Structure 1
Amino acid sequence: MLQHCGILGVLYYDGLLRRFEGGGGYLPISAILTNLQDGLSSLLFIFASLISEAYTGPVTMITICAATSIEGLILIWISAYSESSGALYAAILLLTIGKSGQTLLDSFLQNKVEEILEAREKIEIKDGSTEKQNELDLIRIILTNTWLLVPLVVGYVVILFTDFFNQDYDIIFRNSAVLMGGCYLLFLFGSTKYRHEQVSDESYFGKIFRICKAAYGRRRSDYPASENGYYWKGNVRTNLCYVYGKGVRLKPRVPRLFRWLDKAAILVPEVSPDTQERDGKVCSVKEVREVKSLVPMNYLCFSFFAYSLLVATGNTFFVAQASSMTTTNGYDISKLFLIKVAAGKVSRFICFLIMAGLRSKRTTYSTSKTFVVTTSIIRIGFGMVSAVICCFVAWKMEFYRLYSLEVKIEALYPQFILLGMTEALVEGGLTKLFHAHVAKSMWSFADSYIELVNGIGKLLLIPFVLALRGSWLKESIYTTDLNRFYLMLGILNAALLLVYGYYSFRYTYKETCPEDAAQPDLEDK
């Protein structure tokens, strides 16, 4: 099914390409529809992740999403023989729901591959030496990334070296449904090996809601004068509080808008703590601090607004550029996205090698949580710099395209390479930063956080398209001033890079959870 995710993406881009070539005002409309579907898929992933974590487990949710995608493909195939548009709209809705399971499937496959390799690693380690452990860690990470890359490469090979596109659209979607159905059955055949998974007693969303509800109920309470006024529930109290104003607050420090969350742990002296907890009136300090660790990441989210716009632009207007250039065969759009994926994988591997080299020094600082936070912030910063460069390269390329008679599609390689590097550096760094800064009990929110960042950008690109339609964004790619749009996007990315620097060092870098002694996994994935 992972192979088919790549195939579906290229099919959608190819459909967009043919619409562009048809003219008639399809450029703005296609951009809106593409980002609406992608944005809703990202947001739906959050709900799929919540249901998977608390109720069904990942296998059941992946099964539902895969079946929904197959139904959507079948409906698109049927709609080709019907004059009614109802089947087409229903198919788009089903594909949007099905696509939300792609990230869930990626994470599930990665976890299973790591479990198998870690089990073999424990068998091979007998002497317990550090050198042997480091060597096997490196081999495990390389094998994990290789296994995760193979399905994607197979999907693109099917497209590049077969006659997949040299057919009518109804045949293409029929074959797609058959191919995905076969992958779906293959997945189900192995489900007996990995279906028995434990679901969480409480999802991360349930914990956040419970603490916010308790804090709101205590909103009129004064902050305690000492740490004894909080519900510790037997946890350690070392260096977890600070004095602010007339009361004692809980670390980590957060912006003023979210400091009221501390009140969820304030005790009422007249009632026993167990009774208050059972009634949902109070939460433990540990739980409150776990939720508060998310706050700096949420503030940091606003600085990725321009980055998410660039990702959405790569799925729409970059494709539009390619459609207007000279191609050697019908597969050049697919090659561009394969190049982007390859650039992202290479960037991730280089980051892993750099981190492995720094870890080999084995200094106290290079194995600390602060070191992971610092390197992750720097990695994201390089990714955002790459985003600025990508926008300006696309801007110059658009000038060249507008004023040249013939431009080959190979001229777009640099901006697709930069886009792949940007996504790998930013999203990989975000995952590492999330795991290093946020409490371990909230790690399952990492994928949802990244999907939220991307989904917001895809949806917010729609108002941009509507506002610029008729001025910069014309009815056809040949009359559209994409150069101005790319220049604006580059300036916006540069401005928000400064905002990112401020928020990352003002809140995210300065403080982590001191009681979390467990070192986060430093290996890049």
Structure 2
Amino acid sequence: MATSVERNLKSPTINVQPVSPSWFFSPLCRVTCWVKLLFYFTKAVFFILGLISSHSFVSNAVVVLWMDYLIDLGQPLPLAAIALSVQEGLYVICTFIIANIADAYTGPYKAIVFSTASYAFGLLLWFLANQFWGNSSSTVIILLYLMMVLVTVGKASQDPCLKAFLRDQLVEHKPNLNADNDQADEVPNKPDISVDYDNAEVRRKFWWRIASTVGTVSSVIMARSVSDQRMITVISFSVMALACLTFALGKSSYYPDKPTGSPLIVIYRVLKAAFVKRHLQHAREPNDYYMNDSGGLLLLPDIRIIRWLDNAALLETSESLSAEEQKQNGRLFPVQDVQRVKQLLALLPIWTALPIHGLVLATGSTFFVVQSESLYSDPVLSINVLFLLQGFVTVIVPYVHDSLVSG
């Protein structure tokens, strides 16, 4: 038994835990990964960022002031508002047409070059109208409307084509090992293709917002230093033409883009096949459908009013033709294609809210601009500051949302 003296001589055991450095290195690692994710550069990106900035620059320097131009030329306020609303509708139609032409025939590169050239030519036309026909208000008004059409065509490729094109250039690629060394094509990394495209979309949003903000800030600086309308138009034309030329010169650096086919053709063919086979009974087994990987008997989304579209994927057992022959004849489609068409048609109720959204947008580009004239400071500078604020909010809000959701 240990004596009291021995017990007192024994020192107590103290567990000293080393301070974990994770509190410091964990945020540092996350910041490092974030920087590596966003700051992925290819030579092609530099040619595209200038075009994005030029779109933002010209939009804030010229396009948002169309309402003022019409009012200054003596157009009544209701007529000017109608003209801007028609222009918004034309923009939607042109966006739809150019996106489908790019997907089915030309690819995004040619569509972007064509539309940007139209944008620059419209600005040049507006400068010539003010320079040589400034005394004839009727001629200037006609040329202004023509300029609005050309610029609208130029803007129409921005969302569907330019954004997708930038994202494709930000995907990490690797050489095709099956090709010769001299002719190795850049192909997407197949095992991580979904991850690559997700990361590329994050990069695309980041650099798009940065380039757009640079263009907006530049337009505000120009509005403060330049007040002559013709000089503003010349600068805007020069910026857009230079951006178009720079973008075209970078063709050899771009990842090759090929037309993938218009989704409208698939929708039409699925609707046609389902209508032709509308007399067939519903499937009794999952195997009655062609390429039914999901194994379900009801194809999602299961909405009664469009359930007849399932017949497009239904095998015709009474026919002597094989499944491949039925597919070649346009009478049979995989379940995946039919489900995509059904998902698109299921969005029709949501589309009914778009007219209200369009009215709000039309108000922002018409009466909002006119109301800016009642501000005490320079109306051109004031309204550009508001659009600059909009650009900053557009950049900040998504990151705040992502941090709150992930946290």
TM over 0.5: yes
In the TM superposition, 1:307-318 aligns within 5 A as 307-318=357-368
Structure 2 residue matching 1:46: 3-state secondary structure: helix
Distance 1:145 1:93, change over 3 A: closer
Q: Structure 1 residue aligned with 2:209, among 146, 149, 155?
A: 149
Cα deviation for residue 329 of structure 1 reads: 6.2
In the TM superposition, 1:419-498 aligns within 5 A as none
Pair 1:13-2:61 in alignment: no
Distance 1:356 1:109, change over 3 A: farther
Report if the CA contact (8 A) 1:62-1:104 is conserved: no
What is the rounded CA distance, in whole Å, between the counterparts of 1:68 and 1:350 in structure 2?
37
Identity of matched residues, %:
24
Per the alignment, residue 220 of structure 1 pairs with 279
What is the rounded CA distance, in whole Å, between the counterparts of 2:372 and 2:381 in structure 1?
11
What is the rounded CA distance, in whole Å, between the counterparts of 2:112 and 2:259 in structure 1?
15
In the TM superposition, 1:234-313 aligns within 5 A as 235-238=292-295, 240-242=296-298, 250-256=299-305, 258-268=306-316, 269-272=318-321, 273-313=323-363
Pair 1:178-2:238 in alignment: yes
Q: Structure 1 residue aligned with 2:257, among 167, 174, 197?
A: 197
Report if the CA contact (8 A) 1:218-1:263 is conserved: yes
Cα deviation for residue 193 of structure 1 reads: 0.8
TM-score after normalising by structure 2: 0.72
What is the rounded CA distance, in whole Å, between the counterparts of 2:103 and 2:197 in structure 1?
28
What is the rounded CA distance, in whole Å, between the counterparts of 2:157 and 2:225 in structure 1?
25
Opposite residue 28 of structure 1, the aligned amino acid is P
Deviates more, 1:140-149 or 1:333-342: 140-149
Per the alignment, residue 389 of structure 2 pairs with 339
Cα deviation for residue 106 of structure 1 reads: 4.2
Write the deviation string for residues 22-69 of structure 1: whole angstroms up to 9, x where unpaired: 596632222211121122112211111111112211111100111111
What is the rounded CA distance, in whole Å, between the counterparts of 1:179 and 1:316 in structure 2?
25
- The answer for unaligned runs of 5 or more in structure 2 is 1-50, 175-194
Structure 2 residue matching 1:331: 3-state secondary structure: helix
Opposite residue 65 of structure 2, the aligned amino acid is D
Q: Structure 2 residue aligned with 1:33, among 56, 71, 83?
A: 83
What is the rounded CA distance, in whole Å, between the counterparts of 1:54 and 1:330 in structure 2?
41
Q: Structure 1 residue aligned with 2:222, among 145, 156, 162?
A: 162
What is the rounded CA distance, in whole Å, between the counterparts of 1:354 and 1:141 in structure 2?
20
Distance 1:351 1:141, change over 3 A: farther
Opposite residue 242 of structure 2, the aligned amino acid is G
CA RMSD, aligned part only? Answer: 3.0
Cα deviation for residue 184 of structure 1 reads: 1.1
Report if the CA contact (8 A) 2:213-2:391 is conserved: no
Opposite residue 236 of structure 2, the aligned amino acid is S
What is the rounded CA distance, in whole Å, between the counterparts of 2:199 and 2:287 in structure 1?
49
What is the rounded CA distance, in whole Å, between the counterparts of 1:107 and 1:207 in structure 2?
23
Equivalenced residue count is: 328
Write the deviation string for residues 427-470 of structure 1: whole angstroms up to 9, x where unpaired: xxxxxxxxxxxxxxxxxxxxxxxxxxxxxxxxxxxxxxxxxxxx
What is the rounded CA distance, in whole Å, between the counterparts of 1:335 and 1:170 in structure 2?
21
What is the rounded CA distance, in whole Å, between the counterparts of 1:106 and 1:167 in structure 2?
31
Cα deviation for residue 15 of structure 1 reads: 3.8
TM-score after normalising by structure 1: 0.57
Distance 1:113 1:147, change over 3 A: farther
Distance 1:164 1:3, change over 3 A: farther
What is the rounded CA distance, in whole Å, between the counterparts of 1:204 and 1:138 in structure 2?
22
Structure 2 residue matching 1:241: 3-state secondary structure: coil
Q: Which one has the largest radius of gyration?
A: 2
Report if the CA contact (8 A) 1:59-1:195 is conserved: no
